[in-house]
Copies of this chain bind each other. A is one copy, B any other.
Amino acid sequence: MTHSHNHTACVQVALTNAAQLCAERGVQLTPIRQQVLELIWANHHAVKAYDLLERIKPLQSAAKPATIYRALDFLMEQGFIHRVESLNAFIGCTDLRTVHEQLLLICKQCQDVEERQANAVMQSLADELKEAGFTAHHKAIEIHGICQNCQQ
């Protein structure tokens, strides 16, 4: 994704959808929340909370950790971003309109994170959970390695 794509369009779509969903849901995409979302969408890397804090300071000089964490909490509740558990970091969700479980492919080389629906994986996981008698509330499926673009 770092490699050749129209990223402006990515950002545009993400922000437009977020704004519309907020309107539909009667929740507020305040300036801080929108700025955090934009900063997360600066690229396809997972971003750390304290990096966001540094980057938002020119815009919000009063920003403190809580400023960022509250915005992140909101954006996660709304499904606009995902937390990458194995990196303590965050990425923009590329699939806002679908109820889905995310499979995250995390490239060690370019740092990009790709989100995939992976329906077959989710189906066999559902089967496995049924067999185990386990009721799932949240799934974190994170694969670290080297993405297609980074392998010559």
A interface list, Cβ under 8 A from B: 85-86, 103, 105, 107-108, 114, 116, 118, 120-121, 123-125, 127-129, 132-148, 151
Contacts and interface: CB of A to CB of B under 8 A. Distances in A.
Contacts of A138: 143-145
Given A86-B85, A142-B85, A151 B128 contact: no
Nearest to A83: B86
A141 B144 contact: no
B144 A132 contact: no
B141 A134 contact: no
> Taking the full assembly, how many copies of this chain does it contain?
2
A85 B145 CA distance: 16
B114 A121 contact: no
Contacts of A120: 124, 127-128
Contacts of A140: 85-86, 140-144
Contacts of A123: 124
A136 B145 contact: yes
Nearest to A134: B105
Tell which of A114, A118, A134 has the most Cβ of chain B within 10 Å: A134
A103 to B, nearest CB: 7
22 contacts: A85-B140, A103-B125, A105-B132, A105-B134, A108-B137, A118-B124, A120-B124, A120-B127, A121-B125, A123-B124, A129-B143, A133-B148, A134-B143, A134-B148, A135-B146, A135-B151, A136-B144, A138-B143, A139-B142, A140-B140, A140-B141, A141-B141
